[in-house]
């Protein structure tokens, strides 16, 4: 006998609802998160705690990165485009379709030389060095990328830690069976709910516990029957004894933990390099601005000399050739001045981009100096400090342990497989069709076994061992080279301080000589030719520029020495944390300057 199609349509929804209800009575209810947002908030709290912990472990003035929660909404210039399109349009018209409009009239040379930069408005941002560094740490794309690398390392560790915690799962499956016999079908419905939890073991293997609930209904022969319902508790575990046993089982967790420390060091090292680069670029802008001021004074001086030469020509004291030379020197000076101004504008625009500002934002560079005292240190002392304090060198040193551990893990994979496994099954009583949670401990079954796998094919593993050996040797050589290069950089940094000091002394003397020469010419202008007067102006201008550059080079050299030796400390507000004795030296320099 079979169920007619119309009867089947009426019975099936009723039977399905009743079987589902029976299965639900045996299902352990698992707390379900309120939603995606609440889950992300929990992850953010874990991430914050993990980053705080790793940053605190780093010590010193280490700064934790900012964790940006929102995804940028302006990442695509044209958000209306189809991101799934396979054929992409390209804008590349031929030359015949591009219009070029030449100027109708050439601009005169005088007009070209009078091109001046736009004066900034009163609302322009005044940038001294601390302000620039604060803006860079909050807006710079380069700084944001470095923060995200640190955050991504922390997220990878959270993923790995989650894999080593208890992991819950719940699967529900429904199946309808139909057994045909000469056009007649016996139909039945089965609902299975499996709830379980797994836990990885510290030295290899896994244990799990599962709750299996089943409900079945024969839709043909027992339309009015309540159906059957049963459940099983299953505990199982598997532990490796040779291959895969021991610390190798925790390799992913160990590496993720160490990678977070590496990321913390890398971010702190980046902050110091970033501070140095921003300071270097800022001091360059100051030098360029002073060079422009010197060039403006030079143009004014040459213009005075040109007027004087014209007067001398009119009185017959000089020839027209002298006036032409004076005029030519003035034009050359104006041209150099405008090139300097344009170079300065371009440098400011690039600096604004690096700080994360818009190119149209108006800024005023405020003259500022780091004013670092020069250190009294030998090359050996500087190298020893670098070997102790450089964070990147410490990371390279620790990565040698990673390579050594990789070799041990590769050798472990050569071992045979020997696994111990077992399980315990506790069913419900078989005397009831609807047993519910009535477990029958007397019907408990056990299973324990050992599996041994002969290492018949370990060719790939042996090749991996050789690869790990070569990688370890390469890591050792790379570490030696990296350490030696650091020593060279530190030695160069110490020598650059001495060279910058000597250069500053020379440039101070050059300025004094140039000023004396110009004063002598001004005192007796009739004794000097037009060429002598213009050369005196050029020599003074060049001496002033070289002195400004030497002062900048000395500050950069001291800053670079602190960076290369790992002694540079940057506070969260973007200023240098003074080392012991540094503030005393600053006070002495300030007292000496005020006395002079």
First to last CA, the chain: 118
Concatenated DSSP letters for 524-542? -GGGS-HHHHHHHHHHHHH
CA 70 to chain centre: 17
In contact, 27 and 213? CB cutoff 8 Å: yes
Q: Which among 389, 139, 577 is positioned nearest to 147, based on CA atoms?
A: 139
Concatenated DSSP letters for 238-300? EEESSTT-SGGGGHHHHHHHHHHHHHHHHHHHHHHHHHHHHHHHHHHHHHHHHHHHHHHHHHH
pLDDT of 2 reads 41
Give the integer Cα–Cα distance in Å for 55 and 65. 9
Q: Label the pairing between strands 125-127 and 206-218.
A: unpaired
Give the integer Cα–Cα distance in Å for 211 and 213. 7
For the chain, which residues score pLDDT lower than 70? 1-38, 60-61, 69-80, 103-120, 183, 219-226, 433, 435-436, 583-596
- Phi and psi at 321, nearest 5°, equal -65, -40
How far lies 412's CA from each of 84, 239, 241, 285, 461, in Å? 46, 15, 11, 59, 9
In contact, 363 and 357? CB cutoff 8 Å: yes
pLDDT of 242 reads 94
Q: Label the pairing between strands 417-427 and 445-453.
A: antiparallel
Its pTM stands at 0.83
Q: Which among 463, 426, 8, 2 is positioned nearest to 231, based on CA atoms?
A: 426
Length of the chain: 596
Give the integer Cα–Cα distance in Å for 317 and 313. 6
- Structure-derived torsion over alpha carbons of residues 378, 382, 384, 389, reported in degrees to the nearest 10: 160
In contact, 371 and 589? CB cutoff 8 Å: yes
Give the integer Cα–Cα distance in Å for 194 and 370. 67
Is 124-151+259-400+479-595 assigned to CATH 1.20.1600.10? yes
pLDDT tens string 1-20: 344 444 444 444 444 445 44
pLDDT tens string 423-456: 999 888 877 767 667 787 888 899 999 999 999 9
Give the integer Cα–Cα distance in Å for 16 and 2. 18
Domain boundaries, the chain: 1-32+171-200+205-243+418-454, 124-151+259-400+479-595
66-79 exposure pattern, b = at least 16 Cβ within 10 A, e = fewer: eeeeeeeeeeeeee
Strands (E) in 283-365, as ranges, are 363-365
Give the integer Cα–Cα distance in Å for 5 and 331. 104
| Dihedral sign (CA 77, 81, 86, 92) | negative
In contact, 220 and 2? CB cutoff 8 Å: yes
DSSP lists the bridge partners of residue 191 as 174, 215
- Phi and psi at 202, nearest 5°, equal -60, -35
CA 219 to chain centre: 62
Token duo for residue 491 = 């030695």
């Amino acid at each position: 006998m079979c169920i007619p199609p119309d009867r089947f349509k009426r019975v099936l929804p009723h039977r399905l609802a009743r079987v589902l209800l029976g299965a639900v009575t045996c299902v352990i209810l698992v707390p379900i998160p309120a939603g995606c947002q609440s889950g992300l908030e929990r992850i953010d709290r874990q991430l914050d705690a993990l980053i705080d912990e790793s940053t605190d472990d780093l010590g010193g003035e280490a700064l934790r990165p900012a964790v940006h929660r929102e995804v940028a909404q302006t990442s695509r210039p044209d958000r209306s485009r189809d991101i799934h399109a396979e054929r992409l349009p390209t804008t590349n018209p031929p030359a015949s379709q591009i219009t070029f409009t030449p100027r109708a009239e050439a601009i005169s040379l005088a007009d070209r030389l009078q091109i001046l930069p736009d004066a900034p408005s009163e609302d322009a941002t005044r940038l001294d060095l601390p302000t620039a560094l604060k803006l860079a740490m909050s807006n710079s794309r380069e700084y944001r990328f470095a923060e995200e690398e640190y955050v991504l390392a922390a997220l990878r560790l959270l993923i790995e830690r989650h894999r080593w915690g208890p992991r819950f799962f719940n699967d529900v499956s429904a199946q309808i069976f139909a057994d045909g016999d000469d056009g007649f079908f016996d139909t039945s419905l089965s609902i299975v709910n499996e709830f379980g939890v797994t836990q990885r073991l510290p030295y290899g293997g896994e244990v799990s516990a599962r709750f299996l609930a089943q409900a079945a209904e024969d839709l043909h022969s027992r339309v009015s029957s309540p159906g059957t319902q049963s459940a099983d508790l299953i505990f199982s575990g598997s532990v490796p004894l040779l291959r895969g046993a021991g610390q190798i089982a925790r390799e992913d967790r160990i590496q993720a933990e160490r990678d977070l420390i590496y990321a913390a060091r890398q971010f702190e090292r980046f902050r110091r390099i970033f501070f140095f680069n921003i300071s270097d670029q800022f001091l360059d802008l100051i030098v360029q601005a002073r060079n422009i001021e010197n060039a403006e004074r030079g143009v004014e001086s040459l213009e005075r000399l040109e007027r004087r030469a014209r007067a001398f020509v009119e009185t017959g004291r000089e020839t027209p050739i002298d006036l032409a030379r004076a005029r030519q020197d003035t034009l050359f000076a104006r041209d150099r001045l405008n090139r300097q101004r344009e170079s300065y504008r371009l440098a400011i625009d690039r600096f604004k981009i690096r700080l994360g500002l818009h190119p149209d934002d108006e800024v005023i560079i405020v003259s500022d100096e780091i004013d670092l005292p020069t250190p009294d240190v030998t090359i050996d002392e500087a190298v020893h400090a670098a070997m102790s304090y450089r964070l990147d060198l410490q990371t390279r040193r620790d990565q040698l342990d990673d390579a050594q551990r990789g070799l041990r893990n590769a050798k472990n994979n050569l071992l045979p497989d020997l696994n111990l496994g077992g399980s315990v099954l506790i069913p419900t009583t078989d005397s009831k069709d609807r047993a519910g949670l009535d477990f029958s401990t007397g019907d408990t079954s056990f299973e324990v076994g050992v599996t041994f796998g002969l290492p018949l094919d370990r060719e790939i593993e042996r090749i991996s061992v050789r690869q790990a050996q070569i990688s370890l040797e390469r890591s050792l050589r790379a570490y030696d080279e990296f350490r030696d290069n650091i020593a060279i950089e530190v030695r160069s940094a110490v020598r650059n301080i001495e060279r910058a000091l000597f250069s500053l002394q020379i440039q101070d003397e050059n300025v004094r000589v140039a000023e004396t020469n110009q004063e002598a010419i001004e005192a007796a202008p009739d004794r000097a030719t037009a060429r002598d007067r213009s050369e005196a102006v050029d020599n003074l201008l060049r001496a002033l520029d070289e002195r400004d550059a030497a002062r900048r080079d000395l500050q950069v050299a001291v800053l670079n020495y602190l960076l290369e030796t790992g002694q540079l400390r940057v506070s969260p507000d973007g200023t240098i944390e003074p080392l012991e004795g540094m503030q005393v030296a600053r006070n002495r320099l300030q007292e000496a300057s005020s006395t002079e």
